[in-house]
Amino acid sequence: MNNIAVIGSGTMGNGIAHVFAQHGYNVSLIDISEDSLKKALATIDKNLARQVEKGAISAEIKQKAIANISTSTSIKDGIANADLIVEAATESIDLKLKIFKEMDEAAKSTAILSTNTSSISITKIASVTKRPEKVIGMHFMNPVPVMKLIEVIRGYSTSNETTESIMALSKKLEKIPVEANDYPGFVANRILMPMINEAIYSLYEGVAGVSEIDTVMKLGMAHPMGPLQLADFIGLDVCLSILRVLHDGFGNPKYAPCPLLINMVQAGHKGVKSGSGFYQYKAGSKELAVAERFSK
């Protein structure tokens, strides 16, 4: 497996392209927007430069990685030679089903079709293709070049052969793959999102403030980020949509999203990407200021 196509050049897509290219694979990075592709290449360059500065990789590996990436605005052309396609488009079921139909028609018959979805059913996605045994979830974590985990999700019809080849490939990327079955939220988000939701409920009910809640979890549980900062980092709209998948999928009220989260998303406060969530973000700064609404 040498030729990899990545569909979607946003935060996850460019991170996935970065990791494959760094490990010597030919990467075709695909997006409908030429502008997004340019931004993605600039981000990959910046993140590789950071790894060179830290001594994690050599300048030569960086150069080779950049040379390994080509871009395309057409799915059909961009995936024609791919042995594996990783779809990392926006988290919308309708969009993913449309892309998978197109991928199935244009990809080589031997190609594996994977998705980086954080919560949409792999079985459902596979059902619109003629090769459900070759459809699998490859759930990378953000930031992709740093986080070691790949959650490998088997749909109902995913074959052992497909699973084994994705587990082996993940190890070649120096990641740790973990196999999971296809139920709402898989493992990562079934556990992470209720924790984030509970942190938001704690704020909503006045148990403690934003920095107090995050400090308890950072210092008390050794989490690198508190759950409210992590929610901002993931995107509050993404957290809400995953909670809705859990709520609908299990029909259990324990997954009901906190009304404060719903309001914040409706008001456009989506976290880092919108400049404001539980914290306020200045472009290019790592400094955190509790958003005005939550300040004492």
- Known catalytic residues? 118, 139, 151, 189
* Touching ligand CAA, residues 72-131 (CB under 6 A): 118
Residue 234 interacting with ligand CAA (CB under 6 A): yes
Between 183 and 222, how does the x/- string for binding to ligand CAA read (CB under 6 A)? -----xx---------------------------------
Residue corresponding to tokens 């200021």? 289
Q: Which of 142, 157, 159, 165 binds ligand CAA (CB under 6 A)?
A: 142
* Touching ligand CAA, residues 235-294 (CB under 6 A): none
Phi/psi at 67 (nearest 5 deg)? -65, -25
Q: Which of 120, 138, 141, 153 binds ligand CAA (CB under 6 A)?
A: 141
Q: Which of 8, 13, 132, 145 binds ligand CAA (CB under 6 A)?
A: 145
Q: Please tell me the distance from the alpha carbon of residue 157 to that of residue 9, in angstroms, as a whole number.
A: 28
Q: End-to-end alpha-carbon separation of the chain, Å? A: 55
Range list of β-strands (E), 116-222? 135-140, 149-154, 176-181
The size of the interface with ligand CAA (CB under 6 A), counted in residues, is 17
* Helix segments in 3-90, DSSP class H: 11-22, 34-53, 59-67, 75-79
The full DSSP string for 226-255 is: -HHHHHHHH-HHHHHHHHHHHHHHH--GGG
Mark the segment that binds ligand CAA (CB under 6 A) among 24-32, 62-70, 138-146, 210-218. Answer: 138-146
Peptide bond into 143 cis (omega under 30): yes
The minimum distance between CB 232 and ligand CAA, in angstroms, equals 11
Coil/strand/helix, residue 187: coil
Burial of 208 (0-12, 13-18, 19+ CB in 10 A): middle
Between 11 and 50, how does the x/- string for binding to ligand CAA read (CB under 6 A)? ------------------------------------x--x
> What is the edge-to-edge ordering of all strands in the sheet holding 135-140?
69-72, 26-30, 3-7, 84-87, 112-115, 135-140, 149-154, 176-181
Mark the segment that binds ligand CAA (CB under 6 A) among 1-9, 136-144, 170-178, 207-215. Answer: 136-144
Contact footprint for ligand CAA (CB under 6 A): 47, 50-51, 54, 118, 141-143, 145-147, 188-189, 224-225, 230, 234
